[in-house]
Amino acid sequence: MRHAALRIAEGEHQQVHIDAADLDAILGSKKFEHELALHTDLPGVATGLAWTPVGGDILFIEATRVNGSGRLILTGQLGDVMKESAQAALTLVKARASDLNIPASLFDGVDVHLHVPAGAIPKDGPSAGVAMFIALTSLFTNRPVCHDVAMTGEISLRGLVLPVGGIKEKILAAERAGLRKVLLPARNQKDLRDLPEATRMAMQFVLLETADDAIQTALRQPGTHSTASEFKLVLKL
């Protein structure tokens, strides 16, 4: 408005028409950017969803293992609750190692490093539990995570997926990032009513009761491409 008012006041124009292509010249380059979906076949990387005071955002959970003494290394300026979620996720993977066909020897003499990029931004809350569990399971089973899937939910040591808040903001963030499938706790199904109709029609939602549901949906075999047929318990609204 100031740009248009100045042009009119200077007598250059009586009317000013502004298109999207004019915004860079008027406002300058973008000061903020949203995360975009990451396409990778590297095991150990999962896409989580976060709530912020100004809306939702996606976040990447990266896991790797190096020679060490069995430590869990956490980086990315994580809060205490998020650190507890990471510890719970690793403990659950170890407890389920036999069911997941993970040799116990893979845990011997290694440190597990779990990192959430954008380390300058404080992060906390339990809702990254599912994404952390999937990232760690992907790492130890060598099965990449489907790149078009985002997830949210708290996990328990029994493998249950517990409800979390900010579902509307998180799903809108996933849609904005180009993701079309979202894993969320089954007990958050009621929150889907708050979504815009266009978002409900464009997205697929996978309701999770347990961590096993997340594994079946999010992980794929090395060298394969994710397809819609991999998705079970899909709720299309």
**Separation in Å, CA 237 to CA 49, 74, 109, 179:** 20, 37, 47, 16
Residue 83 makes CB contacts below 8 A (sequence gap 6+) with: 74
**127 neighbors 166 (Cβ within 8 angstroms):** yes
| Catalytic residue list | 127, 170
On the CB side of 94, CA atoms within 13 Å amount to 13
* Rounded CA separation 182/179 (Å): 8
Residue 64 makes CB contacts below 8 A (sequence gap 6+) with: 44, 112, 113, 115, 139
* Rounded CA separation 191/103 (Å): 39
